[in-house]
Amino acid sequence: MSVSQAFLQEFDHEAKTTRRVLERVPADKFDWKPHPKSMSLGELAMHTAMNPGAICGWAAEDETTFKGDKTPVPTSTAEIVAAHDTSVAKYRAVVGELGDSGLSSGWKGSAGGRTIFEMPKAALVRSLALNHWYHHRGQLSVYLRMLDVPVPSIYGPSADENPFARA
């Protein structure tokens, strides 16, 4: 199996899981933060929803110049899920188009005239589009737990979705 096909196979599985988490984000709690330095629930959910597509958009370029754009503030859970679905489609399109040869080419990210990141596009997709995405999904599941929202199964049963738990 090629690297790009492996990324797509992993991504498809993870995207379904992430969508289940995002569907549970309560709109009436979008402003909630577990700590003053934390993102709000709405910001984190939208960031998680948009992450893979945005980062694969960078991989479609040889160099990305960061301008400090902020993640849009959501107004509904449906908007977050729609952003996720758009992001999933973009990730699939870009990784499919790049293929293994495109993933082996270099990428650079810069801001303020200086290079911040420089790596092969495969590393960009692995570390930022996937691992970074999983990290934020994990944060989001903790936010949900703290708000007493049932957490879906992610890599196995959760306390809320456990077929082995006693009723």
Segment 99-150, tens digit of pLDDT: 999 999 999 999 999 999 999 999 999 999 999 999 999 999 999 999 999 9
CB count, 10 Å around CB of 87? 24
Bridge-based pairing state of the strands 114-120 and 63-65: unpaired
| 77 part of a folded domain | yes
* 153 occurs within a structural domain: no
Q: Give the rounded distance of the alpha carbon of 22 from its chain centre.
A: 10
pTM for the full predicted model: 0.92
pLDDT of residue 69: 85
Tens digit of each residue's pLDDT (9 = 90 or more) over 33-88: 999 999 999 999 999 999 999 999 999 999 999 998 888 999 999 999 999 999 99
The count of structural domains within the chain is: 1
The answer to whether position 154 is within a domain reads no
Q: Give, for 124, the enclosing helix (H) or strand (E).
A: helix 121-124
Q: Which positions ≥6 away from 71 have C-beta within 8 Å? A: 43, 46, 47, 50
HSE-up of residue 126 (Cα within 13 Å, Cβ side): 11
Which CATH number covers residue 72? 1.20.120.450
Structural domain harbouring 127: 3-146
